[in-house]
Structure 1
């Protein structure tokens, strides 16, 4: 059985290239060797919660409604204000997994606006470091520094995080658990880091969308925000209700240290 250090070295060898380019294969390559990634679906969380009232998480009851969650990574960016305008116009909530360096610390007003307009504000680490290549204390710093920045701006401590590239392991789970964070992956990816074509982004999302889906988008890319109105309209026409990730799990709740998709 490979040691954790050896597995991480091998992971670096197997996954060359830029941070965003590897995201498409992250779910398959997140773990190697003798560790197996186990995830929990939103439906399983709801089923385990019994009959509690989901009202504190929002008006939609995803036990009855056909729900789907829009999530955006790596903001806030220069495109985020327009995205928030679109979401407000469409009356759609989203979940934002925010980066710290050159994002939260340069656009704090957008973080405040996200929270004020009812969106879920969560962590995507401080520098987008690959957490499976980091020591426990470095993982803690990546997550806790982002948490503190979000608390300072919104008054609310994040309960969710998304590991860069979706890469996680037992060490990341343990640190996340200690910090009160649950890990959220995705079921739908538009690979919007590879195209600026809003039509193609929309097509990819619609092809993969299903009930309880978690859609991964990045508002840092120029083609993404122009695609969002069409995505919302098309999925609404199919009978979907848009919710945040916590609303998708309600009346259940995400448990720190566990992984959801």
Structure 2
């Protein structure tokens, strides 16, 4: 996505409100500045499970299956209901990293539906502020507010979060650890914030997909949800099994304060 300091044209059709335009200018960059992070791969997490964890997680064992995780940032939005319909029809679980302000607040019924239909509901912060620019108390507020809202709606407090733009540091790790949150990055990005061309979004995902991959998409953009059926069908034909991020790590478990990336 463009740097927050650059100007982006508003076509008048891409975004339906100033709120969505604001989000578009600030959403995830492709891990800029994160190349030196100490991260844990899903395979490493699976190889070192906690002693009290069962050998398998649900019906999928990613030590044997060719797994991939589909994740969506910055929702819910007006497009999320259609996305949930598609995932339900395809029997595909996903992980949703939700924004609080103007998203969880606006679409609480969709947050409830995500949890009820078996998806992992996680945090993308309250207001999409860049955490590495904040004081520890501000980081805490950005992370606690969406967790409180999600827990109120679903009865489950998130254990995962995705830092805006993938930007994180030791202070973010420390606060996340104190709040019981693991950080999840990604290995596949369609850069769907740059285009409404669903065919191009699908092509980009399929070109980058690999075993244990974590796919980053955004269900706030009009071109993304129409690309999802083709992505699912093509990856299923390649032998992939779709899982949530916790399933991808199992029988390991996401540890608070750790950063996970394939």
Q: Would you say same fold, with TM above 0.5?
A: yes
**Do residues 53 (structure 1) and 54 (structure 2) align?**
yes
In the TM superposition, what whole-angstrom CA distance separates every residue of 1:90-119 from its partner, at most 9, and x where no partner exists? 000000000000000110000000000000
In the TM superposition, what whole-angstrom CA distance separates every residue of 1:171-228 from its partner, at most 9, and x where no partner exists? 0000000000000000000000000011000000000000000000000000000000
**Within 1, Cα distance between the matches of 2:26 and 2:46?**
31
CA contact (8 A) 1:49 1:251 kept: yes
Change (3 A) 1:80 1:23: closer
CA contact (8 A) 2:28 2:164 kept: no
The RMSD of aligned alpha carbons is 1.8
**Within 2, Cα distance between the matches of 1:81 and 1:24?**
22
Q: Equivalent residue of 1:128, what SS?
A: coil
**Do residues 29 (structure 1) and 14 (structure 2) align?**
no
**Within 2, Cα distance between the matches of 1:100 and 1:25?**
20
Q: Equivalent residue of 1:183, what SS?
A: strand
Once the 2 structures are TM-superposed, how far is the Cα of residue 20 of structure 1 from its aligned partner?
4.7
**Within 2, Cα distance between the matches of 1:22 and 1:152?**
27
What TM-score does the superposition give when structure 2 sets the normalisation length?
0.89
**Do residues 205 (structure 1) and 205 (structure 2) align?**
yes
Q: Equivalent residue of 1:151, what SS?
A: helix
* 1:44-83 paired onto structure 2 within 5 Å: 44-49=44-49, 53-55=54-56, 57-83=57-83
Aligned to 1:100: 100
Change (3 A) 1:189 1:153: same
**Within 1, Cα distance between the matches of 2:24 and 2:44?**
30
In the TM superposition, what whole-angstrom CA distance separates every residue of 1:7-60 from its partner, at most 9, and x where no partner exists? xxxxxxx862376567664423248xxxx41110000000112895344x3211
Q: How many residue pairs end up in the alignment?
A: 243
In the TM superposition, what whole-angstrom CA distance separates every residue of 1:207-259 from its partner, at most 9, and x where no partner exists? 00000000000000000000000000000000000000000000000100010
**Within 1, Cα distance between the matches of 2:136 and 2:155?**
26
Change (3 A) 1:132 1:16: same
**Do residues 218 (structure 1) and 214 (structure 2) align?**
no
CA contact (8 A) 2:32 2:167 kept: no
**Structure with higher helix content:** 1
**Within 2, Cα distance between the matches of 1:118 and 1:24?**
25
* 1:32-43 paired onto structure 2 within 5 Å: 36-43=36-43
CA contact (8 A) 1:87 1:93 kept: yes
Change (3 A) 1:186 1:40: same
Aligned to 1:194: 194
CA contact (8 A) 1:29 1:167 kept: yes
Aligned to 1:11: none
